[in-house]
Amino acid sequence: MLPGSIQISGETLSGAEIRDICESLRENSVRLLSLRGCQLSERDFGHVCRAAAESRSLAQLNLNLGIVSNINRVKQLAEALKTNRSVQSLFLHGSPLTDAGLALLNPALSIHPSLVALDLGDCMLGDEGINLICGLLPPDGAKSGLKELTLSANPGVTSKGWGRLAIAVAHSSQLRVLNLDYNPLGDQVAGMLAVAVASSRTLEVLDLEGTGLTNQSALTLLDMVENYPTALRTLILAENNISPELQQQISDLLSEGEEEEEMEAREVTAREKNPWICQNNSSSQMVLMTSGLGDSLLAETEM
């Protein structure tokens, strides 16, 4: 039987329900466990963590909206992740981690062999937390790293912290999705992110919704999209002080780039199907850049 999912939202969980969840985890019959906004005792949280540690099927773990509510729970989750080898996506959105909590969790995140998607939105992080996160974005294939990162609504991060993240993104060989919505970034940070996007070979989605940007940022981003080849496919600029015309220009340019690459992909496929098709320049190189993210890991579970 293929592993299924357990998704519970906003409920107070009984001891019997926790035992059933733990048994399913240990039987490797759960791929997705979501306890979003649920209430459970300290003892039961520990039981879930220990069962998750033993699970070989668990791919997505959603503990959003205050489940990881204190340092003791952070420690238990860290211990579980040190043993677990299967979790690919970890959602902690709305957890009061702070930099201190992330420091406890970070060693387990850093060595986890499968983790590719991490949601730390609204986790009360500051610059020290961002420095730790940068370590999860290794450069040039040095080791596996995150492909999807959410840092929404962490207003304690300063422009210095965001600048450090921009440098890490520029050199990351893995990151494809970056969500920074509802942070007070402003035009200065947006300029640093534009440079990071222009340097990145992998970033396809950047969410800057509600980040205090103006037309100044939009013009910088427009110049980046227009004049530099990037992997970017989606740039979200809603709820900023940016004119609809500039937003449309950026969107149109991104769409044009995607259409061109789809045409290149079709040409490559045609040549693979018919190897007798001659090429005018035998020394030319074909660079194929795929478009679209497919089924995003983050999209499978709502916050």
Residue 7: predicted pLDDT: 97
The residues, ordered by sequence, that sit 6+ positions from 93 with a Cβ below 8 Å of its Cβ are: 64, 65, 119, 120, 121, 122, 123, 150, 152, 303
Confidence of residue 277 (pLDDT cuts 50, 70, 90): very low
Predicted confidence (pLDDT) per residue in 212-232, tens digit: 999 999 999 999 999 999 999
pTM: 0.85
Strand partners, 234: 205
Domain boundaries in the chain? 5-263
157 has pLDDT over 90: yes
- pLDDT tier for residue 125 given thresholds of 50, 70 and 90: very high
Residue 49, both tokens: 């963590």
Strands (E), the chain: 4-7, 30-34, 60-62, 89-91, 117-119, 148-150, 177-179, 205-207, 234-236
Spell out the alpha helix ranges (H) of 91-158: 98-111, 127-134
Q: Find out whether 182 and 210 touch, Cβ atoms under 8 Å.
A: yes
Q: Which residue has the higher pLDDT, 86 or 294?
A: 86
Q: What backbone phi and psi angles, to 5 degrees, belong to 42?
A: -60, -40
CATH dotted code for 5-263: 3.80.10.10
Which pLDDT does position 139 carry in this prediction?
84
According to the model, what pLDDT value does residue 173 have?
A: 84
Report the distance separating Cα 174 and Cα 133, nearest Å: 14
Q: What is the pLDDT of residue 289?
A: 31
- Structure confidence by residue, pLDDT tens digits, 103-121: 999 999 999 999 999 999 9
**Rounded Cα distance, 230 and 81, in Å:** 34
Q: Are 172 and 145 in contact (CB under 8 A)?
A: yes
Q: Determine the pLDDT at residue 79.
A: 98
